[in-house]
Amino acid sequence: MSGALIVHKAGPAMSLQDLGRPGLLSRGLSRGGAADRLALAEGAALLGQGSECAALEMAGMGGVFEATQSLRIALTGAPMRATLDAAPLVWGASHGLRAGMRLEIGPVLAGIYGYLQVGGGFAASEVLGARGAHLSAGIGRVLAAGDRLAVGADAGGETGLALPQDDRFSGGTLRALHGPQTAMFSSDEVARFQSTRFARDARGNRMGVRLIPDGAGFHSRAGLSILSDIVVPGDIQITGDGAPMVLLSECQTTGGYPRIGTVLPCDLPRAAQAPAGAALTIRFVDRAEALAAERATANAVRALSGRLTRLVRDPRDMRDLLAYQLISGVTAGKTEGG
């Protein structure tokens, strides 16, 4: 065991998350896992470790933390105001955290879900093959002040690295595929759906986000009386009031609302990270375009470690510099440009 991260203060919806538990649909358990899986991959690249490591997911608001011994951390996902012993920390970057230092993560500046990752990952015990919480299924729980989160053994590596900021934290266009129930909607209705500008509703959680259309709601020809069937993350279900709901990782495994299509997996981080009021549109693509988009995202994830840049450091900020050298164990010049 290499120590722990103490939670002194916690926002209202903070939990451990990883890549979830795929393969249990037949048991009624959806995959779950981080709302923004890309953020896990970014943190993994920053820390030079696998993206299967469990991370702290913070919805809307961070918390106050202290390490019991020196840790490497990475801050990814929705940018939040962060300080280390009152000195500002760059988001989307890795940093050193020495024992006793006070890490404060404040409100989100864009997006919804910010992530705090640690070298070695959080060492919570596995339940059904994963360490993360599945809140709607009652696996794990929301974290609170007083929690001590054990940290796994860190293979080590540098800190002070950064990734370019992504644009997925303010809405945009979600690409989607037609699905088994798209034909329940008239072609006019599907066309209107694509040309509609939606605002992300304030209601939303790890199960799904509701979108408010700027015009009339949407209705299937089959009405609402359809038989429950398999639902998957990304499915766009049209609820009783005609507003679409994009299902996320912690959705139910079956559902009885008609679904107009399914958002591509590679666009789910954008859906999950759209803050309340953000403008979203949905564009249907064919399978070839969807596959190309998914492949491009997978390639970009693989290339993340090649996009790391070194944080420019102010030598007058000795505390940060000390932490940096203490923990990384290598000098900045050693991998310049790497």
Partner 1 sequence: MTHVSEHSAGGFPRIDWLGLDGLLVRFGDALSEPANRAALALRHAVTREGWPEVEEVTSALVSTYLRFDPLSADGADVRARLAKLVDSRDWMAEPLPGGRRLWRVPAVFGTDLAPQLAEAAELAGVTPEQAIAQIAATRLRVQTIGFAPGQPYLGELPENWAIPRQTALTPRVEVGALCVAIRQMTLFSTATPTGWRQVAQTALRLFRPESETPFVLSPGDEVLFEPVERSAYELLCAEGPDGGAVAEVLA
Binding site for partner 1 (CB under 8 A): 22-29, 127-128, 136-139, 177-180, 226-230, 232, 234-235, 252-254, 262, 264-265, 287, 290-291, 294-295, 298
- The residue behind tokens 């064919």 is 286
Q: Which is nearer to partner 1, 224 or 326 (CB)?
A: 224
Q: Which is nearer to partner 1, 295 or 319 (CB)?
A: 295
DSSP letter (8 states) at residue 186: -
- The residue behind tokens 């370019």 is 164
Instruction: Give which of 197, 202, 211, 191 is closest to 271, Cα–Cα.
Output: 211
Q: Which is nearer to partner 1, 109 or 285 (CB)?
A: 285
Residue 14: beta bridge partners? 58
Closest separation between CB of residue 297 and partner 1, Å?
10
Q: Which is nearer to partner 1, 125 or 316 (CB)?
A: 125
φ, ψ of residue 141 to 5 degrees: the values are -160, 170
Q: Which is nearer to partner 1, 83 or 136 (CB)?
A: 136
Q: Which is nearer to partner 1, 25 or 243 (CB)?
A: 25
φ, ψ of residue 42 to 5 degrees: the values are -65, -45
3-state secondary structure 112-163: CEEEEEECCCECCCCECCECCCEHHHCECCCCCCCCEEEECCCCCCCCCEEC
Closest separation between CB of residue 222 and partner 1, Å?
8
Closest separation between CB of residue 174 and partner 1, Å?
13
Q: Which is nearer to partner 1, 167 or 229 (CB)?
A: 229
Distance in angstroms (rounded) separating the CA atoms of residues 188 and 203: 28
Distance in angstroms (rounded) separating the CA atoms of residues 176 and 234: 8
Closest separation between CB of residue 269 and partner 1, Å?
15
Closest separation between CB of residue 128 and partner 1, Å?
6
Contact between residue 211 and residue 227 where contact means Cβ atoms under 8 Å apart: no
Closest separation between CB of residue 131 and partner 1, Å?
13
- Here the tokens at position 186 are 């008239």
Closest separation between CB of residue 257 and partner 1, Å?
13
